[in-house]
Amino acid sequence: MSQTTTGKSAGGFTEAEAERRRVRVNWLLSLPALVWLAFAASGPLLIMVVYSFLTPGDYVGVVWDFSTDAWFQVLFTRDIFDETIVTMADAHLSIFWRSISLSLMTTATTLVFGFPTAYFIATRSPRSRPMWLFLVTIPFWTNLLIRTFAIMELIRNEGLINTVLLKAGLIDTPIQMLFTDGATLVGMTYVYLPLMVLPLYASMERLDFRLVEAGYDLYASRLQVLRRVILPLVKPGVIAGSILVFIPSLGAYVTPRLLGGGRNMMMGNFIEMQFGAGRNWPLGAALSITLLFIVMIALIFYVRNVGKEGSGHG
């Protein structure tokens, strides 16, 4: 009887059995990587979850007594005398809001600068595009700390910008740019701009520019072509780039620490302080998990929007 009639493969197994064997082999081959991910990725996260329900030690570390005070302290404060609830944790909420607002502004700023950059690269000849992409990725070759110090040299009181303005007679005293939210925004925009450009370019490279020409042929203005033709087609790249910028900027530590000077604290700096000078590891762990929840919300938003975009084209 033929193999087609019996439904058996060359090894004597049915197609379903052969498929199950392939799946088992693939799982066995993936097992070392899955075990490594479980310990290297999930392990530290589980430690943070456990620590968030413990009691802070007298000097450092934790005491293995169950407590929900860390989660309570994320949003509320108690009176130091009678332990009654006084008010919302305004300091924590202000840090949360500053982190989210600066991350959103960083995302918007990188989009404003990254969109025309990606469009410029996508409209070059195919032979010259790799050179332009190479120039975009050059900052990644340098350590983040060095890049942040370079920004400091530009905007500090004795830096290049103030020196040029003073010598040109445009100002009488140096402008205080360092240790401000604006300095943090400039630094994070510079650091994360390539993460916006690359996804946008990936979407624009697949864009059929004949549609753009058709829009102009139908007497659409440049703004109308941008809003009704280009933006809808490159929307996945916009969303991907926004997520790639928003998530790391939300937990940024080095750039806000150096350019903000510790005055305008963000979530990354505040969490580090709890594990350091604050000596409150459970609160630091609870804040870390809270930050993770915010990131998960952003990722869910991204997945849902990409899913809708895919179903709309599918």
Residue 146 placed within a domain: yes
Report the domain count for the chain: 1
Residues facing residue 305 across a β-bridge: none
pLDDT for residue 302 is more than 80? no
- Report helix angle 144-155 to 160-167, nearest 10: 20
Q: Please tell me whether residue 264 adopts helix, strand or coil conformation.
A: coil
Q: For the whole prediction, is pTM greater than 0.85? A: no
Q: Is residue 142 helix, strand or coil?
A: coil
pLDDT of residue 3: 47
* Residue 148 domain boundaries: 89-313
Q: At what angle do helices 144-155 and 181-205 cross, to 10 degrees?
A: 120
67 within domain boundaries: no
Answer whether residue 16 is part of any domain.
no
Q: Kindly write down the DSSP assignment for every residue of 152-173, as one continuous string.
A: HHHHSTTSHHHHHHHHTTS-SS
Q: Which residues contact 174 (CB under 8 A, 6 or more apart)?
A: 157, 158, 162, 166
In a domain, 59, yes or no: no
In a domain, 1, yes or no: no
Q: What pLDDT does 306 receive?
A: 63
Q: What is the pLDDT of residue 307?
A: 58
pLDDT tens track for 197-230: 999 999 999 888 889 889 888 888 889 998 999 9
Domain CATH code at residue 261: 1.10.3720.10
Which residues are CB-neighbours of 308 under 8 A, at least 6 positions away?
none
In a domain, 76, yes or no: no
